[in-house]
Amino acid sequence: MKSMETPTTMRASVLVRAGELTVETRPVPAPEADQVIVQVTAVGICGSDVHYFHEGRIGDFIVEAPLVLGHEAGGVIIAVGDEVDAARLGERVSIEPQRPCRRCEYCRSGRYNLCPQIEFYATPPINGAFAEYVAIQQDFAHRVPASVSDEAAALMEPLSVAIAAIQKAGVRPGDRVLITGAGPIGIVTAQTARAFGATEVVISDPMAERREVALRFGATQAIDPAAESLGSGYDAFIDASGSPVAVKQGISALRSGAVAVLVGMGADEIALPVSTIQNRELVITGIFRYANTWPTAIALAASGAVDLDALVTGSFGLDEVREALDSASHPSTLKSIVRPDRDSVER
């Protein structure tokens, strides 16, 4: 191992069980030969973190032992394994928070997000990034330019979700795109759709405050689904709400031959307009995280095509993770950031 000056212990926010967090002192991880150790500078709060905190599970993923949450992370490389170039020490990076096996058919075909052996930050039993230091394979620590802030480096992760959705939808220049749900993923997806060339991006959300935000972040129109029609003839539909009603309405608003991508976490089973899907030859698909998106995400953020810094609405220390998680339910919150590099920060 080659390293800068590195402590032997670190602080980490740990989910003991649903609703119970504590800050523990833990050993700083030692890098495997192909890994780097990153001093974490910023971690975004994701909806999955909130689900684990409140319910202790998401579907089949159950918190059965103490777990460090957080997977939207960036920081600085402070140690490298024996197979990693020491020149990377001090490099600022965005972390792609997953470890595929690299041997299965999905990994070999480039769809490593579908690897059945994949390990993902903050998905039981793998610890996440609400900690001062984390380990990651060196090629999943993506260098970011000086123009990209610590917060933006962390938020490459939700931007990657949006890129995966837009790519799966096949969005092209001149397309009309419908997005349901103006939460953080819906907002960053609207920006990404515009960056990919969509000329009309309509976003639907029942909350007036979120619709106003959407108009500042790439949406050309924001609709109240309780009072207005979503329109019709869209080239792509992306659901970022998880609402069964929104999914059904969005599918019905597509033109023939179009694509619907389901991103939001909602009901396990919903009724779909099957005759519409058949008669219009619609493609209905989902995304599971992302693969090969970080270079595009970094380019979009560095160029200013997507503004990640403007998404940040709150900043918290490791001792304030509960407050950060609770803040996600506020309508005015887009992205709350945890800064493990300081005990308490001014909000």
- With b for 16 or more beta-carbon neighbours within 10 A and e for fewer, the 5-25 pattern comes to eeeeebbbbbbeeeeebebee
**Which pLDDT belongs to residue 342?**
64
CATH superfamily of 2-155+308-339: Medium-chain alcohol dehydrogenases, catalytic domain (3.90.180.10)
Work out the number of other CB atoms within 10 angstroms of the CB of residue 92: 20
Q: pLDDT by residue (tens digit) across 130-152?
A: 999 999 999 999 999 999 999 99
Per-domain residue ranges for the chain?
A: 2-155+308-339, 164-286
Enumerate the H helices of the chain as residue ranges: 47-55, 105-108, 150-154, 156-169, 184-195, 208-216, 244-252, 274-279, 294-303, 321-327
For Cα atoms 165, 167, 173, give the angle at the middle one, nearest 5 degrees: 115
pLDDT tens, 178-210? 999 999 999 999 999 999 999 999 999 999 999
Q: Is 343 a residue whose pLDDT tops 70?
A: no
Class of domain 164-286: alpha beta
pLDDT of residue 330: 87
Confidence of residue 62 (pLDDT cuts 50, 70, 90): very high
- Whether the pLDDT of residue 347 is over 60: the answer is no
Residue 19 has pLDDT above 70, yes or no: yes
What's this model's pTM, rounded to 2 decimal places? 0.95
pLDDT, one tens digit per residue, over 91-125 is 999 999 999 999 999 999 999 999 999 999 999 99
Percentage of the chain lying above the pLDDT 90 cut: 92
Please determine, for residue 260, whether its predicted confidence score (pLDDT) is greater than 50: yes
